[in-house]
Structure 1
Amino acid sequence: MLEGRTAIVTGGSRGIGAAVVRRFLANGANVMLNCRTESKALSDLRDELSGRADRIEVAVGDVADAGFVAGMVRQAQERFGTVDILVNNAGVTRDKQISFLKEEDWDAVLDTNLKGAFLCAKAVIKPMMRARWGRVINVSSVSGLTGRPGQSNYAAAKAGIVGFTKALAREVAPYNVLVNAVSVGVVETRMTKSMPRDIYAEIERSVPLGRVGQPDEVAGACLFLASDLSSYVTGSNLNVSGGGYM
């Protein structure tokens, strides 16, 4: 589905990002995998995907740093010739009630989750427009649609992602560059696995499908939006939450 395409996947060393990397590679894409720091997760993923090393490039750095982002895009272009797809998945949380939320907690979340998406999109959008083909997929959250206690910073960033997606989609649609968001519900990750069992069970009961999602299920939605199957879809916000948000 993505044969000959090149994708940048931010936050790609674990969880949803790693699942997207695997899906895209399995469907023929070259992938620039970004993560903020060297980690065991990155090392393990490199080992797992060593058989496809000819189609993988890694850039370690902060997507909130414009200089790093520009260098990452150049690196991908030099290695693979072009960047066709961007998945803005990098994200952090600093959950606290607003009375205890420090300014640096607000800034850290907005910088990575929202500013990072802006910087990455800005760096790839002109080449996509010149090529008259491109896909930008912004990973948001149902928290940005409903709000959640203790997540005012995260909800603000993810709501911003949805508005950013719609505005950018209108700007670049004449150039056949499609921009969409994926709003994710509760997904089984390292964070959710560490939850107390009673809280985890309560979350499962709150989802109409009766379970939390899997990273690969989000990756499947990203694959659809990255491929020609979504050729008439732009400015959308695809809800991947098992019915948790309706």
Structure 2
Amino acid sequence: MSIEECRPLKDKVALVTGGSRGIGAGITRKLASWGCTVCINYVDRVGPARKLAAELEEQGTKVTLHRADLGEPSAVEGLLDEIQSLHGDLHILVHNAAATKFISLEDATLDQWQFVQDTNARSTWLLAKHAVPVMRDRPGARFITITNSTTQRIIPRAGLFGAAKAALETLTDYLSYELAPYGIVANCVRPGLVQTDVFAVRPDFAHGVKHEMAISPWGEGPMTTVENSADVVAMLCLDEASWIAGQTITVDGGYRLWGNTGMRAKAGPRAPVAEPEAS
């Protein structure tokens, strides 16, 4: 296999919001390895962003860094304007950036509600709105959002997050319809529980890891990884995936289906079934 064949996204420009740490960094690395020029968005931690950029530049990837707080409407518009000015094109936008306040709904304030909605849901709408001029009719245009399991199961004190991510998922559904005339394919990816420094702050993290490992039919080893999540995002950017649209794809090894079974699936032959007695 030639080097060109290993870089199916060569010459495409990709923006990854929150792209310097955790799952976002994994997505950035994967898209870079497949040939993309990568635009890494971060908010206030420039150190990890610069470190990742240096790593990728050593590997021959073109990288630009973009500081923007996506909770601010003017910053979203400025981010897209900056990318258009620097690159002239944008083929792939992965909205991975997220923020929340872990607090019960009873104790949450209006400001906390608004903060979580603005940084997750409103930013999705604004990114799509301002991305259209720079993404429309570009070959292989993709708008991909990243959600999480708070929309699928109750996580203590994560109600604000769940509500905002549910809005993000619904917005992605509608965007898949409204962006289609511009040639932009929209989908959503829902990673399972991923062990990163970013998500270690989740209240259910330690218990969730212990529970999943105890009942996983995959044995003692695998859990969802940053790389699993990044692989699916990259797959959705391929030409072969152009007819997958308006989907929320869960990447969790099947945990969404078997997570409440309470027991590990047993490998090996099934026990024989007794023949019914003759009447």
Scaled by the length of structure 1, what TM-score is found?
Answer: 0.90
Q: For residues 69 and 84 of structure 1, what CA distance do their matches in structure 2 show? A: 17
Matching residue within 118, 123, 128 for 2:125: 118
CA shift for structure 1 position 202? 2.4
Q: Are 2:114 and 1:107 equivalent residues in the alignment? A: yes
> Would you say 1:201 and 2:210 are equivalent positions?
yes
Task: Note the alpha carbon deviations across 1:46-74, whole angstroms, 9 max, x for none.
Answer: 33223257611111120122222222222
- Compute the displacement of 1:178 (Å): 0.5
SS in structure 2 of the partner of residue 148 of structure 1: coil
Cα distance change on mapping 1:199 and 1:145 into 2, 3 Å = closer
* Match for residue 26 of structure 1 among 33, 42, 49: 33
CA contact (8 A) 2:90 2:138 kept: no
Contact 2:14 2:38 in 1 (8 A): yes
Moved more, 191-200 or 29-38: 191-200
Corresponding residue for 1:97? 104
Letter in 1 for 2:196: T
Q: Post-superposition shift, 1:31?
A: 1.0
Where does residue 264 of structure 2 map in the other structure? none
Q: Kindly provide the CA deviation profile for residues 96-142 of structure 1, in whole angstroms up to 9, marking residues without a partner as x.
A: 12222222222221111111111111111233334465200000112
Distance in 2 separating the partners of 1:43 and 1:205: 38
**Residue identity matched to 2:253:** G
For the structure 1 residues 218 and 196, does the alpha-carbon distance in structure 2 shift closer, same or farther, using more than 3 Å as the test?
closer
Residue 241, structure 1, aligned to residue 252, structure 2: yes
* 1:69 maps onto 2:80 in alignment: no
Question: Which structure is higher in helix share?
Answer: 1
Q: Secondary structure at the match of 2:161?
A: helix
Q: Write out the 4+ residue segments of structure 1 that deviate beyond 6 Å after TM superposition.
A: none
Report if the CA contact (8 A) 1:183-1:240 is conserved. yes
Q: What CA distance in whole angstroms lies between the structure 2 residues aligned with 1:53 and 1:99?
A: 51
2:9 to 2, 10, 22: 2
- Name the counterpart of 1:218: 229
Q: Work out which of the residue numbers 1, 26, 48 in structure 1 matches 2:55.
A: 48
Quick check: 1:135 aligned with 2:142? yes
Percent identity of equivalent pairs: 27
C-alpha separation between the residues in 1 aligned to 2:216 and 2:167?
24
Contact 1:64 1:119 in 2 (8 A): no
Q: Quick check: 1:230 aligned with 2:241?
A: yes
Distance (Å, rounded) in 2 between the aligned partners of 1:76 and 1:160: 26
RMSD: 2.2
Match of 2:24 among 17, 24, 30: 17
Say yes or no: does 1:60 pair with 2:67.
yes
Residue 46 of structure 1 aligns to a residue whose secondary structure is helix
Q: Is the 8 A contact 1:208 1:243 kept in 2?
A: no
* Preserved CA contact (<8 Å) 2:229 2:251: yes
